[in-house]
Protein backbone atom coordinates (compact mmCIF):
# COMPACT_ATOMS: atom_id res chain seq x y z
CA UNK A 1 0.00 0.00 0.00
CA UNK A 2 1.26 3.49 -0.82
CA UNK A 3 0.80 6.71 1.08
CA UNK A 4 0.88 10.17 -0.44
CA UNK A 5 1.23 13.73 0.85
CA UNK A 6 -0.38 16.65 -0.98
CA UNK A 7 -0.57 20.29 0.06
CA UNK A 8 -3.97 21.67 0.89
CA UNK A 9 -3.17 25.22 -0.26
CA UNK A 10 0.33 24.96 -1.68
CA UNK A 11 3.49 25.49 0.29
CA UNK A 12 6.28 28.00 0.57
CA UNK A 13 9.44 26.55 -1.01
CA UNK A 14 11.62 28.36 1.51
CA UNK A 15 9.82 26.69 4.42
CA UNK A 16 10.07 23.31 2.68
CA UNK A 17 13.81 23.69 2.14
CA UNK A 18 14.32 24.83 5.73
CA UNK A 19 12.34 21.85 7.03
CA UNK A 20 14.27 19.48 4.77
CA UNK A 21 17.61 20.84 6.00
CA UNK A 22 16.49 20.42 9.59
CA UNK A 23 15.08 16.86 9.32
CA UNK A 24 16.46 15.11 6.22
CA UNK A 25 18.98 13.05 8.20
CA UNK A 26 16.49 11.96 10.90
CA UNK A 27 15.36 8.83 9.05
CA UNK A 28 17.18 7.03 6.24
CA UNK A 29 15.59 7.70 2.86
CA UNK A 30 13.49 10.66 3.97
CA UNK A 31 15.51 13.19 1.98
CA UNK A 32 13.96 11.90 -1.26
CA UNK A 33 10.47 12.59 0.09
CA UNK A 34 11.35 16.20 0.87
CA UNK A 35 12.95 16.57 -2.58
CA UNK A 36 9.78 15.26 -4.21
CA UNK A 37 7.67 17.72 -2.22
CA UNK A 38 9.88 20.61 -3.31
CA UNK A 39 9.91 19.55 -6.98
CA UNK A 40 6.42 18.07 -7.45
CA UNK A 41 4.30 19.40 -4.56
CA UNK A 42 3.63 15.79 -3.54
CA UNK A 43 5.48 12.71 -2.39
CA UNK A 44 4.65 9.06 -1.84
CA UNK A 45 6.07 6.04 -0.10
CA UNK A 46 5.09 2.50 0.76
CA UNK A 47 6.46 3.07 4.26
CA UNK A 48 3.77 4.78 6.32
CA UNK A 49 6.13 5.87 9.09
CA UNK A 50 8.20 7.94 6.66
CA UNK A 51 5.13 9.69 5.24
CA UNK A 52 3.75 10.38 8.72
CA UNK A 53 7.12 11.70 9.91
CA UNK A 54 7.39 14.11 6.97
CA UNK A 55 3.78 15.18 7.58
CA UNK A 56 4.57 15.74 11.26
CA UNK A 57 7.62 17.90 10.51
CA UNK A 58 5.61 19.99 8.05
CA UNK A 59 2.71 20.34 10.48
CA UNK A 60 5.18 21.81 12.99
CA UNK A 61 5.62 24.60 10.41
CA UNK A 62 1.82 25.08 10.20
CA UNK A 63 1.61 23.66 6.68
CA UNK A 64 -1.77 22.05 6.03
CA UNK A 65 -1.56 18.70 4.26
CA UNK A 66 -3.74 16.03 2.75
CA UNK A 67 -2.64 12.47 3.49
CA UNK A 68 -3.92 9.76 1.17
CA UNK A 69 -3.70 6.01 1.58
CA UNK A 70 -3.72 4.48 -1.88
CA UNK A 71 -4.72 0.87 -2.41
| 1-12: pLDDT as tens digits | 999 999 998 889
| DSSP code at position 57 | H
What is the reported pLDDT for 71? 80
Give the residue numbers spanning the domain of 54: 2-70
Q: What is the pTM of this model?
A: 0.91
What is the reported pLDDT for 44? 97
What is the reported pLDDT for 10? 84
Number of domains in the chain: 1
Which secondary-structure segment (H or E) carries 30?
Answer: helix 30-40
Which secondary-structure segment (H or E) carries 58?
Answer: helix 48-59
Weakly modelled stretches of the chain, pLDDT under 50: none
Amino acid sequence: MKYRILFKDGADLEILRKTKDKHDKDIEGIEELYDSLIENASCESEIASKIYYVAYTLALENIELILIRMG
